[in-house]
Structure formats: C-alpha cells, structure tokens
Amino acid sequence: MDSKAIRQLMRERRRSLTYQQQIAASKGLAEQLSNLPAFRYSKRIAFYLPNDGEIDPQLAMGIAEAAGKECYLPVLHPLKLNRLYFARYCQGEALSINRFGIKEPPLKGGFIVPPLGLDLILLPLVAFDAHGNRLGMGGGFYDRTLASQQRFTRLIGLAQSCQETDSIVHQPWDVPLQAIVTERNVIQAH
C-alpha cells in the first residue's frame, strides 16, 4: 500500500473511534508516557492539541504541569514556510486558530523556544510500524523543523494502537524517533 492509501485508511480508523474509546486511549497514553524515563526527566516538553482524530495527549500534559514541567505547543512559523516554533502553554490559556484550522498559542507576547530548547517533543502520527517508522500528515512540518535538531532533543511519536501497519517505507527526509507510544505500549525505534 502506498503512503497516500495508508494515510487515508489510518485517518479513517482513528476518526471512527467512539468518544469513549478516545477517552480510554488518552488515559492509557498518559499512563504509558508518565512511566517513561524520557518523560519523567524532561523539564521542557512539547505536546500538540489533537486534530482529525489524533490521540489526545492533554491528560499527559496535565501530569507534566502538575510535576512543574514547562509545556509547549507547536506554532506555525510566520516567516519560514512549513516550519514550526514552539510556544509555552498552560492548559486553559487562550488559543488562536491557524490557517489549517488547528488551535495554537498566539505568537505575539508568547514565550517561544526553538526545538533545541526542548528536552522532549511529542509528535502526532498518522501511521507507524513495529520498527518505529512513522507516517505523518504529509506536510513535512516536523521533519523540516527538526532536521538539524534531532540529536539534541528526544522525539517520541504518539498514536492510537489501531494506527499500526505492517510496514512503512522510511524516506531519507524522515526524522527518526526514539520511540512510539500508544495507549497500550511503547515501541522503541531501531
């Protein structure tokens, strides 16, 4: 199956989950993440707000905030095409809607850090395989943003377990992850 077909299938799978299944997955994800040393020892963590059926990391964000960690969200870079900034965020703060209809903290007046300033970045995935290969939405925002930063910051992909597929072809521009976390388990990338 090609990347386009995998994306379509996996997006349909995650959007077909019931509200109860999504809540249960969010709880399982928070438990899996909070047990990871990479999560426990990180001081600055980038999360994301779920969109299009993505697994919701907001319970894990609450755990991070309660532990005194700084939380960040991705923000579209206003000048560099297809790149991200990361803005400090506390749950409940005002958000704006970007050009893709995704909520993000406002850039103006916000505390912004480059990826290098973060200990851990949690990325949403469309699909993944048992070897830790991933497939994103196809825009390349994370890949472009993290291309030169990857060895300094831990990168962990988040997905529903139903988004696993047999095999994903690793592309030369794909930034490698250290692990993929689902509501059920942690897959260490090779």
**123: CB partners within 8 A, 6+ apart:** 48, 134, 136, 142, 155, 156, 157, 158, 177
Residues of the chain with pLDDT > 70, as a percent, come to 93
- What is the structure's pLDDT at 78? 62
Could you tell me if 168 and 135 are in contact, meaning their C-beta atoms sit under 8 angstroms apart? yes
Q: What is the pLDDT of residue 137?
A: 75
Q: Over the stretch 81-118, which tens digit does the pLDDT of each residue have?
A: 677 889 999 999 989 888 888 899 987 766 888 888 99
In this prediction, residue 173 has a pLDDT band, given cuts at 50, 70 and 90, of confident
Q: Which domain holds residue 12?
A: 3-188
- Report the pLDDT averaged over residues 49-72: 96
156: its two tokens = 């962990």
Tell whether pTM > 0.85: yes
Is the predicted pLDDT of residue 150 greater than 60, yes or no?
A: no
Q: How many structural domains are present in the chain?
A: 1
For the segment 68-82, the average pLDDT, to the nearest whole number, is 83
Task: State the DSSP H helix or E strand holding residue 181, giving kind and residue range, or none if neither.
Answer: strand 179-181
Among 106, 58, 62, 113, residue whose Cα is nearest residue 85: 113
Lowest mean pLDDT among 12-26, 90-104, 129-143: 129-143
Between CA 114 and CA 118 the distance in angstroms is 7
42: CB partners within 8 A, 6+ apart: 69, 119, 120, 154
Higher per-residue confidence, 89 vs 77: 89
**Helix 58-66, helix 19-34: angle, nearest 10:** 40
Span 70-85, average pLDDT = 81
Give the Cα separation of 58 and 50 in Å (integer): 8
Question: Quick one: pLDDT at residue 125?
Answer: 92
- The enclosing domain of 134 has a CATH number of 3.40.50.10420
